[in-house]
Amino acid sequence: MNLGKLGVWFFLDPLNSSQSAETAKKIEKLGYSALWLPEAVGKNPMVLASWLLANTEKLVVATGIANIYNREPGATLSAQHTLAEQSDGRFLLGLGVSHKPLVEGVRGLKYGPPVQTMKDYLEKMKSSPYMALTHSETPPTVIAALGPKMLELAAEHCNGAHPYFSSPDHTETARSIMGPDAWLCVEQKVVLEEDPSKARDLARKAAAMYQTLPNYRNNWLRMGLSEEDINQSSDKFIDTTFAWGKVEQIKSRIQEHFDAGASHVCIQPINPNGDVGALHWECLEQLAN
């Protein structure tokens, strides 16, 4: 798979199927190499990936991430191989353990120890039978990884990692843990807004839904942020985890990730108009150039 260097990460849940297909086509036309689809309590990312792959020609469609608690390992393996064959190798499977409040509080399932649960899941995937026609190349898998043990697992048991809501310093740490060959596909939130107050306010609104989730909080603490930084959405917290300002400043942050060892960066543009269901196309157009 030629994943390329720069992708887009975005929730397509507010869009209908026709709008989603047009969005993917436009992202492909702008020159981005991949579109990353999250999974929460909305659209099935495997079904959506099939639709988007059928409506594009070169774009890689990746799940960032598919929740392992939502499907058993054999079903995931089957979906992965089916999508790889349908798209001639343009599907990238990203898996994650999600978060205890979502797994137990929303879905009513038992949340297990993250690293061991993911390891067991990957091993069960590998041992699951798949006897249908598939793509000539083994379809790739990355896992959502933030802490050292999960990053080690990513390097040892699949193609690499998909860190979310981190920083270039975290990217450097991840690369040192994973070694030179593993894929390191980093998500970066961006705000194309020069006014510091406006940019940080937009970032704070985007961060709010994540700030109570333990997996992210633990990683931010490892990154050197304090509980107060996280709870108060301090300028330090925002400036560490978001890229904002002029397009040149945002490009500089993206380059910092590459310099730190990222193999791919997927940008998540925050819409300054407050419309969470609409991509900020001006941002994507400028960053694509």
Q: Compute the average pLDDT of residues 27-48.
A: 97
Kind and range of the H or E element at 6?
strand 6-9
pLDDT tens per residue, range 72-116:
999 999 999 999 999 999 999 999 999 999 999 999 999 999 999
- Which stretches within 87-212 are classed as H helix? 100, 114-127, 148-157, 168-178, 196-207
Paired tokens of 260 = 């730190």
**Banded model confidence at residue 273, pLDDT cuts 50, 70, 90:** confident
Question: Which amino acid is it at 166?
Answer: S
pLDDT at 239: 98
277 or 83: which leads in pLDDT? 83
Average pLDDT score, the chain: 96
Q: At what angle do helices 17-30 and 281-288 cross, to 10 degrees?
A: 30
Q: How far apart are the first and last CA of the chain?
A: 23
Average pLDDT on 114-123 reads: 98
Q: Give pLDDT, residue 278.
A: 84
| φ, ψ (nearest 5 deg) of residue 183 | -70, 135
Q: Read off the pLDDT of residues 222-235 as tens digits, 9 standing for 90 and up.
A: 999 999 999 999 99
Q: Looking at residue 88, what DSSP letter applies?
A: T
* pLDDT score of 251 more than 70: yes
Q: What would the two tokens of residue 83 be?
A: 């999508």
pLDDT at 289 over 90: no
In the chain, what are the domains? 6-198+244-288 (3.20.20.30)
pLDDT of 276:
64
Q: Give the Cα separation of 32 and 156 in Å (integer).
A: 28
